[in-house]
Homo-oligomer: A and B are copies of this chain.
Amino acid sequence: MISVVLLGAGNVATHLFKAFNKAIEVSVNQWYSRNLKPLESYKNLVNITDDLTKLQDADLYILAVSDDAVSDISSQLPFENRLVVHTSGSVSMYDIDKKHKRGVFYPLQTFSKDADVDFSQVPLCIEALNNKEDRPILKKLAKAIGSQPHKVNSDQRAALHVAAVFVNNFTNQIYRIAHEITESQGAEFDLLKPLIKETARKLDDLSPFMAQTGPAKRNDKKTLKKHIKALEDQHHKAIYELLTKSIQKTHGSLIRRVNNSNKNN
């Protein structure tokens, strides 16, 4: 049995609480938030508090708080030499006050407020200053909620966090632009959804490099020109041009090779 005190009241804290609460091998001893209101509906399930000085004993303390608050709250904790971890992708483990045993428990997924989270689909990036004693606790905790733990150091976690912004926020913005383009001609955005899913699914079989197709990779100038001309929004045009350039940079040697072999024919 792993005992936990959870701190924070946002999406990550709430989804972690629900998962811990269901897990047989985890006991949430207490849930802290500066503001008790969001925790009220859970008070029959767990001891809740808004007073850091009244925190109970536990195997680990999880700071599921905003990035900016990690350092402050960790130094306000009225004890030392206990395992304290944060859940952030972009905050260093060393932002946690050095009086604690320090670690990170970063779930790499996008959480919606309302939808339930299936933690078997959430990789957990774990890091601990003390590999021998503390990392096994974090590993066990991840497994207890059905998640796959991965040992990830701070540099790797920072890279994953930036990369997550690309595949989540930027990809979603690309979807948004596709929505604007289809809407501008009264076409249905929904027709693109099977293609969107297949583009994501293809990564099960192929690397993104191998999966690439289309006019930019083929250097099909006629279609590229037609598309640029068709885009009415200057901002859409700029994104089209930059990402086309990016694809051609990635597949550049290939394009040169194809052009050369065409010349030789």
Contact = CB atoms under 8 A, between A and B. Distances in A.
B182 A160 contact: yes
Interface in A116-173: 121-123, 125, 150, 152, 155-173
Main secondary structure of the interface of A (DSSP, over half): helix
Interface in A208-242: 208-209, 211-217, 222-223, 226-227, 230-231, 235, 238-240, 242
A48 to B, nearest CB: 25
B239 A194 contact: no
B156 A186 contact: yes
Contact of A179 (B169, B199, B209): B209
Nearest to A123: B191
Contact of A209 (B110, B176, B202, B246): B176
Given A162-B230, A181-B163, A185-B159, A203 B208 contact: no
Most chain-B CB neighbours within 10 Å: which of A67, A205, A208, A250? A208
A249 interface: yes
Contacts of A231: 162
Number of copies of chain A assembled together: 2
Contact of A175 (B181, B208, B217, B240): B208
A158 B171 contact: no
A112 B202 contact: yes
Contacts of A176: 208-209, 212, 250
A196 interface: yes
Contacts of A194: 108-109, 121-123
A208 B199 CA distance: 16
A14 B173 CA distance: 34
15 contacts: A110-B213, A121-B198, A122-B194, A159-B230, A162-B230, A163-B179, A165-B227, A166-B240, A167-B195, A168-B195, A168-B213, A170-B240, A172-B208, A200-B200, A239-B242
